[in-house]
Amino acid sequence: MGTAATSRRSVGPGTRAMIALGAGLGVLAGMGVFAFDYAEGSSYLSNEPSACVNCHIMRDQFDAWQKSPHHANATCNDCHVPQDFVGKYATKMDHGYRHSKGFTFQDFHEPIRITPGSLRVVEANCVRCHEAITSEIRSHAWEEIEGVSCVKCHAGIGHGPRR
Protein backbone atom coordinates (compact mmCIF):
# COMPACT_ATOMS: atom_id res chain seq x y z
CA MET A 1 0.00 0.00 0.00
CA GLY A 2 1.19 3.47 -0.80
CA THR A 3 1.04 6.36 1.55
CA ALA A 4 -1.32 9.28 1.02
CA ALA A 5 1.59 11.43 -0.14
CA THR A 6 2.60 9.02 -2.86
CA SER A 7 -0.96 8.35 -4.08
CA ARG A 8 -1.69 12.02 -4.83
CA ARG A 9 -0.77 13.28 -8.23
CA SER A 10 1.15 16.49 -8.36
CA VAL A 11 -0.24 19.39 -10.34
CA GLY A 12 2.19 20.43 -13.04
CA PRO A 13 2.73 23.88 -14.53
CA GLY A 14 0.58 23.04 -17.57
CA THR A 15 -2.40 22.19 -15.37
CA ARG A 16 -1.95 25.37 -13.34
CA ALA A 17 -1.90 27.43 -16.54
CA MET A 18 -5.13 25.78 -17.73
CA ILE A 19 -6.79 26.48 -14.37
CA ALA A 20 -5.66 30.13 -14.51
CA LEU A 21 -6.86 30.47 -18.10
CA GLY A 22 -10.22 28.91 -17.21
CA ALA A 23 -10.61 31.20 -14.20
CA GLY A 24 -9.71 34.26 -16.28
CA LEU A 25 -12.18 33.33 -19.01
CA GLY A 26 -14.83 32.70 -16.35
CA VAL A 27 -14.27 36.14 -14.84
CA LEU A 28 -14.45 37.79 -18.30
CA ALA A 29 -17.64 35.88 -19.15
CA GLY A 30 -19.15 36.84 -15.80
CA MET A 31 -18.30 40.51 -16.34
CA GLY A 32 -19.78 40.35 -19.84
CA VAL A 33 -23.04 38.81 -18.59
CA PHE A 34 -23.22 41.40 -15.79
CA ALA A 35 -22.62 44.31 -18.19
CA PHE A 36 -25.18 42.96 -20.69
CA ASP A 37 -27.77 42.62 -17.91
CA TYR A 38 -26.93 45.99 -16.31
CA ALA A 39 -27.20 47.77 -19.69
CA GLU A 40 -30.51 46.01 -20.39
CA GLY A 41 -28.89 44.45 -23.46
CA SER A 42 -31.76 42.07 -24.18
CA SER A 43 -34.08 45.05 -24.71
CA TYR A 44 -32.07 45.97 -27.80
CA LEU A 45 -33.03 42.68 -29.42
CA SER A 46 -36.65 43.83 -29.59
CA ASN A 47 -38.34 46.30 -31.91
CA GLU A 48 -39.47 48.45 -29.00
CA PRO A 49 -38.44 52.12 -29.51
CA SER A 50 -38.22 52.70 -25.76
CA ALA A 51 -35.10 50.47 -25.75
CA CYS A 52 -33.28 53.23 -27.62
CA VAL A 53 -33.64 55.62 -24.68
CA ASN A 54 -31.84 53.27 -22.28
CA CYS A 55 -28.96 55.58 -23.22
CA HIS A 56 -29.52 59.18 -22.13
CA ILE A 57 -27.94 60.52 -25.29
CA MET A 58 -30.86 59.23 -27.39
CA ARG A 59 -33.58 61.04 -25.42
CA ASP A 60 -33.77 64.02 -27.81
CA GLN A 61 -34.06 61.74 -30.85
CA PHE A 62 -36.76 59.64 -29.17
CA ASP A 63 -38.77 62.70 -28.11
CA ALA A 64 -38.49 64.17 -31.61
CA TRP A 65 -39.57 60.87 -33.19
CA GLN A 66 -42.69 60.84 -30.99
CA LYS A 67 -43.69 64.21 -32.52
CA SER A 68 -42.72 63.26 -36.07
CA PRO A 69 -44.93 62.18 -38.98
CA HIS A 70 -43.32 58.70 -38.84
CA HIS A 71 -44.31 58.02 -35.22
CA ALA A 72 -47.55 56.26 -36.18
CA ASN A 73 -45.96 54.11 -38.89
CA ALA A 74 -42.29 53.43 -38.18
CA THR A 75 -40.15 52.38 -35.25
CA CYS A 76 -36.42 52.99 -34.85
CA ASN A 77 -35.65 49.59 -36.40
CA ASP A 78 -37.81 50.28 -39.46
CA CYS A 79 -35.42 53.07 -40.41
CA HIS A 80 -32.09 52.34 -38.73
CA VAL A 81 -31.42 48.64 -39.39
CA PRO A 82 -31.64 46.47 -42.52
CA GLN A 83 -34.81 44.44 -42.75
CA ASP A 84 -33.21 41.02 -43.33
CA PHE A 85 -32.55 38.91 -40.22
CA VAL A 86 -28.76 38.70 -40.50
CA GLY A 87 -28.32 42.36 -41.50
CA LYS A 88 -30.63 43.53 -38.73
CA TYR A 89 -28.80 41.77 -35.92
CA ALA A 90 -25.33 42.39 -37.37
CA THR A 91 -26.16 46.11 -37.45
CA LYS A 92 -27.58 45.98 -33.93
CA MET A 93 -24.33 44.34 -32.73
CA ASP A 94 -22.27 47.00 -34.51
CA HIS A 95 -24.36 49.81 -33.00
CA GLY A 96 -24.25 48.20 -29.57
CA TYR A 97 -20.48 47.82 -29.69
CA ARG A 98 -19.86 51.39 -30.90
CA HIS A 99 -22.35 52.92 -28.47
CA SER A 100 -21.14 50.98 -25.43
CA LYS A 101 -17.51 51.77 -26.30
CA GLY A 102 -18.35 55.44 -26.76
CA PHE A 103 -20.30 55.68 -23.51
CA THR A 104 -17.72 53.69 -21.54
CA PHE A 105 -14.77 55.80 -22.71
CA GLN A 106 -16.80 59.02 -23.05
CA ASP A 107 -15.53 59.60 -26.60
CA PHE A 108 -18.84 60.06 -28.41
CA HIS A 109 -20.01 63.21 -30.14
CA GLU A 110 -22.93 65.12 -28.67
CA PRO A 111 -25.33 65.48 -30.29
CA ILE A 112 -25.00 61.96 -31.61
CA ARG A 113 -24.16 61.70 -35.32
CA ILE A 114 -25.04 59.06 -37.85
CA THR A 115 -22.17 57.17 -39.47
CA PRO A 116 -21.91 56.91 -43.28
CA GLY A 117 -22.78 53.19 -43.13
CA SER A 118 -25.83 53.83 -40.96
CA LEU A 119 -26.92 56.63 -43.29
CA ARG A 120 -26.83 54.17 -46.21
CA VAL A 121 -29.13 51.84 -44.24
CA VAL A 122 -31.54 54.71 -43.50
CA GLU A 123 -31.54 55.79 -47.16
CA ALA A 124 -32.23 52.22 -48.31
CA ASN A 125 -35.14 51.98 -45.88
CA CYS A 126 -36.56 55.32 -47.08
CA VAL A 127 -36.54 53.98 -50.63
CA ARG A 128 -37.98 50.61 -49.53
CA CYS A 129 -40.97 52.18 -47.76
CA HIS A 130 -41.54 54.98 -50.25
CA GLU A 131 -40.70 53.08 -53.44
CA ALA A 132 -43.79 54.26 -55.32
CA ILE A 133 -43.11 57.91 -54.51
CA THR A 134 -39.38 57.77 -55.21
CA SER A 135 -39.38 55.60 -58.34
CA GLU A 136 -39.51 58.59 -60.71
CA ILE A 137 -36.71 60.39 -58.88
CA ARG A 138 -34.56 57.27 -58.73
CA SER A 139 -35.10 56.33 -62.36
CA HIS A 140 -34.05 59.76 -63.66
CA ALA A 141 -31.76 61.39 -61.18
CA TRP A 142 -30.52 58.97 -58.55
CA GLU A 143 -27.38 57.85 -60.36
CA GLU A 144 -26.88 61.00 -62.43
CA ILE A 145 -26.86 63.47 -59.58
CA GLU A 146 -24.22 62.86 -56.98
CA GLY A 147 -25.38 63.42 -53.45
CA VAL A 148 -29.11 62.77 -53.91
CA SER A 149 -30.24 61.98 -50.41
CA CYS A 150 -33.65 61.51 -48.84
CA VAL A 151 -32.32 62.69 -45.50
CA LYS A 152 -30.67 65.80 -46.94
CA CYS A 153 -34.03 67.26 -47.93
CA HIS A 154 -36.28 65.49 -45.43
CA ALA A 155 -34.13 65.62 -42.30
CA GLY A 156 -37.02 66.50 -39.99
CA ILE A 157 -39.34 63.71 -41.06
CA GLY A 158 -38.07 60.82 -38.94
CA HIS A 159 -37.18 62.80 -35.86
CA GLY A 160 -39.43 65.83 -36.21
CA PRO A 161 -38.37 69.37 -37.14
CA ARG A 162 -34.83 70.46 -36.41
CA ARG A 163 -34.48 72.93 -33.59
| Dihedral class, residue 97 (left if φ above 0, else alpha if ψ from -120 to 50, else beta) | alpha
pLDDT single digits (tens) 58-80: 888 888 888 888 888 899 999 99
Question: Is residue 29 located within the same domain as residue 82?
Answer: no
142 vs 27, higher pLDDT: 27
Question: Is residue 96 located within the same domain as residue 20?
Answer: no
CA distance 48 to 29: 27
**90 located within any domain:** yes
Question: Is residue 145 located within the same domain as residue 86?
Answer: yes
Share of the chain above pLDDT 90, in %: 28
Question: Is residue 40 located within the same domain as residue 94?
Answer: no
Domain, as residue range, for 27: 12-45
Which among 65, 116, 127 is positioned nearest to 94, based on CA atoms?
116
Given pLDDT bands bounded at 50, 70 and 90, which one contains residue 154?
confident
Q: pTM score > 0.75 for this model?
A: no
Question: Is residue 40 located within the same domain as residue 79?
Answer: no
Domain count, the chain: 2
**4 located within any domain:** no
